[in-house]
Amino acid sequence: MNKKVKGFIVVCLLVLSLFAFNAAAMEVHCGALFDSASGEMQTNQLITIEGDQVKSVKPFNGEKVDFDFSEQYCLPGLMDMHTHITHENSKTRYIEKFQHNEADVAFNAVVFAERTLMAGFTTIRDVGDAFNVSVALKKAINQGKINGPRIYTAAKSLATTGGHADPSNGYRHGLFPKTTPEHGVINGVGDAMRAVRQRYQDGADLIKITATGGVLSQAASGDNAQFSDEELNALIATANDYGFKVAAHAHGKAGMLRAIEAGVASIEHGTYLDDEVIKAMKKHGTYLVPTLIAGDWVTEKSKIDGFFPEVVAKKAATIGPLIAGSFNRAYKAGVNIAFGTDSGVSEHGRNGEEFALMVNNGMTPAESLQAATIEAAKLLDKTKTLGQVKAGFYADMVVVASDPLQDINVMNDIKVVIKGGKVVKK
């Protein structure tokens, strides 16, 4: 190879390296930036992004920028701590489990994931899927194959026989195979340990249990306790061994108290919480993930004749209207609260409606935004990478047209979404 060719190659490599460096850097000017740590807006901020991280945040001094949001409001990427990304409820939901195979569920999940991201939610917890599709979806998103939020998944949630997440509910006897810990059904200490270890092998990031009955399952009770103390203690001890936090679906008081005392990280829904439950949650630092939109949705649908099976409609009409009041009691008492919608019960992409419901039931707009940013990051144990626009954190941001501290409804109209330093909606 002669000197001219070598020289040409060197120059090309230098140009390519400079281009790669410049392509990775992005300057963003925000007229207002929500500081989730303080709950206040900071004016005229310059955010420098390199790769998938924020390099710096400093006052804007007229620098040339790639994106000028001087008239808009920027916030950290939103986080939803209770979703079911692999399905979405409808009038035909109960028959679909006999019609949909793994491929149907997977393709639907891709659509739901993109809707969620376009709504501004750059990070979610999935707390109960089918066929471990959320695990595969998480990998595909992380590899850049499809658009979607950053997923932390529980894979298949755990239940007892006949419990809220028993997948054989509603089947005639003999039609569904005998349920095992692989299906997410446990009976006894050994099963509890085995189920957690199975989730570890499956690629889950956390454990989800159904500590009480639930609304949408085809079972009589929506609030009875469904795990023994021994099962809970074994389950959570094993989860601790594997570095898992445990989220507990719970409506009834007895099931909530058992789960809280055993050491779950969060109570999902919390419908019948009272002063005793609140005291236990504050003692243990347990989070409430309230899912107000789900309560409204099931209440509304329970009024439509034939929308739900009869056993479900009765529970929906009873439990749905109570969730907002429980949220208000917990909020006033100072319980830790993280944002969660139960999307998959309601339609994916409507996640932002939860903000207004939280505000209408007692929270300030700033507190509702903190619940979906810094508080959600605390629940995930990701306080050094998520929940703030800050140097060293993932470059996740959303942009809205007006001040959400003045009108929280603007969170239903996300104009720009940046996830991991990439503009995915503009």
Identify whether the C-beta of residue 105 lies closer than 8 Å to the C-beta of residue 131. yes
pLDDT digits (tens, 9 = 90+) for 280-304: 999 999 999 999 999 999 999 999 9
Cα–Cα distance for residue pair 137/125, rounded to 1 Å: 12
Cα–Cα distance for residue pair 204/84, rounded to 1 Å: 14
Cα–Cα distance for residue pair 133/118, rounded to 1 Å: 20
Q: What angle do CA 122, 127, 132 make, to 5 degrees?
A: 95
| Best CA proximity match to 400, nearest among 414, 417, 389 | 414
pLDDT digits (tens, 9 = 90+) for 31-40: 999 999 999 9
Q: What is the mean pLDDT of the chain?
A: 94
In this structure, what DSSP letter does residue 291 have?
A: -
Cα–Cα distance for residue pair 378/299, rounded to 1 Å: 31
Q: Compute CA 246 distance to the chain's CA centroid, rounded to the nearest angstrom.
A: 14
Domains of the chain: 20-76+388-425 (2.30.40.10), 78-380 (3.20.20.140)
Identify whether the C-beta of residue 96 lies closer than 8 Å to the C-beta of residue 163. no
Average pLDDT over residues 132-151: 98
Identify whether the C-beta of residue 424 lies closer than 8 Å to the C-beta of residue 120. no
pLDDT digits (tens, 9 = 90+) for 49-58: 999 999 999 9
Does the pLDDT value for residue 234 go beyond 80? yes
pLDDT digits (tens, 9 = 90+) for 353-395: 999 999 999 999 999 999 999 999 999 999 999 999 999 999 9
Average pLDDT over residues 332-343: 98
pLDDT digits (tens, 9 = 90+) for 219-233: 999 999 999 999 999
Q: Residues for the chain: how many in total?
A: 426
Does the pLDDT value for residue 18 go beyond 60? no
* Cβ-based burial of 384 (10 A; exposed 0-12, middle 13-18, buried ≥19): exposed
Residue 173: per-residue pLDDT? 87
pLDDT digits (tens, 9 = 90+) for 71-104: 999 999 999 999 999 999 999 989 988 899 999 9
Residue 175: per-residue pLDDT? 87
* Cβ-based burial of 93 (10 A; exposed 0-12, middle 13-18, buried ≥19): middle
More confident residue, 172 or 282: 282
Does the pLDDT value for residue 125 go beyond 60? yes
Residue 85: per-residue pLDDT? 98
pLDDT-based confidence at 140, cuts 50/70/90? very high
Give percent of the chain above pLDDT 70: 94
Residue 15: per-residue pLDDT? 36
Does the pLDDT value for residue 132 go beyond 60? yes
Residue 317 falls in which region: left (phi positive, over 0), alpha (psi -120 to 50) or beta: alpha
